[in-house]
A and B are shown apart, each in its own frame.
Chain A
Amino acid sequence: MSDLEELYREIILDHYRSPRNRGELETPPAHRTEGFNPLCGDEVIVYLLLDDPAKGDDAVVTDIRMGGQGCSISQSSGSMMSAEVKGKTVGEVRALTKAFKAMMSIHEGTLESGESVVTASLDSDDTDNFEDDAPEMDGELAALRGVVKFPVRIKCATLGWNTLAQAIRESIES
Chain B
Amino acid sequence: MTSTESKPTDLPRDQLDIAAIKADFPILKQDMNGKRLVFLDSAASAQRPTSVTSAMTLYYETTHANVHRAAYTLAEHATDAMESARKKVAGFIGATSADEVVFTKNATESLNLVARSWGAANLGPSDAVVLTELEHHANIVPWQQLAAEKGFEIRWIPLTEDGHLDLTDLDQLLGGAKLLAVSAMSNVIGTLTPIRVLADAAHAHGALIAVDGCQYVPHLATDVVALNADFLAFSGHKMLGPTGVGVLWARKHLLEEMPPFLGGGGMILDVKKDGFTPAEVPHKFEAGTPPIAEIVGLGAAVDYLDSLGMDQVRAHEVALNAYAMKTLKDRFGERISIYGPTNPSDRGGVMSFAFGDLHPHDVSQILNEHGVCVRPGHHCAKPLMRILGVGATARASWYVYNDESDIDVLADALESAGDFFAF
Q: Please report A residues at the B interface, Cβ cutoff 8 Å.
A: 4, 7-8, 13, 39-43, 69-73, 75, 150, 153, 156
In the complex, are the beta carbons of A156 and B365 less than 8 A apart?
Answer: no
Min CB distance A68 to B, Å, is 8
A/B interface sample: 21 pairs, CB < 8 A: A4-B365, A4-B366, A4-B369, A8-B362, A8-B420, A39-B377, A40-B360, A40-B378, A40-B392, A41-B377, A41-B378, A41-B382, A41-B385, A41-B392, A69-B391, A70-B359, A71-B360, A71-B361, A71-B362, A71-B376, A73-B362
Contact with A42, one of B361, B365, B420, B421 (Cβ below 8 angstroms): B361
Name the 10 nearest CB pairs between A and B, nearest first. A71-B361, A71-B359, A41-B378, A41-B391, A41-B392, A40-B377, A69-B391, A72-B362, A71-B362, A40-B361
- What 19 new A-B contacts, CB under 8 Å, besides A4-B366, A40-B376, A40-B378? A4-B369, A8-B420, A8-B421, A13-B421, A40-B361, A40-B377, A40-B391, A41-B382, A41-B385, A41-B392, A42-B391, A71-B362, A72-B361, A72-B421, A73-B361, A73-B362, A75-B359, A153-B365, A156-B361
Main secondary structure of the interface of B (DSSP, over half): helix
CA distance A117 to B141 in the complex (A): 24
Q: Which among B360, B361, B376, B420 has the greatest number of chain A C-beta atoms within 10 A?
A: B361
CA distance A42 to B376 in the complex (A): 11
Which residues of B in the span 385-405 have a Cβ within 8 Å of any Cβ on A? Answer: 385, 391-392
Main secondary structure of the interface of A (DSSP, over half): mixed
Interface 1/0 per residue, B339-376 and A, CB below 8 Å: 00000000000000000000111100110010000001
Contact with A153, one of B361, B385, B391, B392 (Cβ below 8 angstroms): B361
Q: Which among B365, B366, B376, B378 has the greatest number of chain A C-beta atoms within 10 A?
A: B365
CA distance A8 to B420 in the complex (A): 9
Q: A40-B377, A42-B361 are in contact. Are A70 and B391 (CB under 8 A)?
A: yes
CA distance A41 to B385 in the complex (A): 9
- Chain B interface size band reads 10 to 19
Q: What are the residues of chain B within 8 A of A150 when measuring CB–CB?
A: 365
Q: What are the residues of chain B within 8 A of A73 when measuring CB–CB?
A: 361-362
Minimal Cβ-Cβ distance residue in A for B358: A72
Minimal Cβ-Cβ distance residue in B for A150: B365
Min CB distance A118 to B, Å, is 15
Min CB distance B366 to A, Å, is 7
Min CB distance B371 to A, Å, is 13
Q: What are the residues of chain B within 8 A of A71 when measuring CB–CB?
A: 359-362, 376
Q: What are the residues of chain B within 8 A of A43 when measuring CB–CB?
A: 391
In the complex, are the beta carbons of A42 and B366 less than 8 A apart?
Answer: no
Min CB distance B56 to A, Å, is 28
CA distance A7 to B362 in the complex (A): 10
Q: What are the residues of chain A within 8 A of B366 when measuring CB–CB?
A: 4
CA distance A128 to B306 in the complex (A): 51
Q: What are the residues of chain B within 8 A of A40 when measuring CB–CB?
A: 360-361, 376-378, 391-392
Min CB distance B249 to A, Å, is 31
CA distance A69 to B362 in the complex (A): 13
Q: What are the residues of chain A within 8 A of B360 when measuring CB–CB?
A: 40, 71
CA distance A42 to B81 in the complex (A): 46
In the complex, are the beta carbons of B359 and A72 less than 8 A apart?
Answer: yes
CA distance A75 to B357 in the complex (A): 13
Minimal Cβ-Cβ distance residue in B for A8: B420
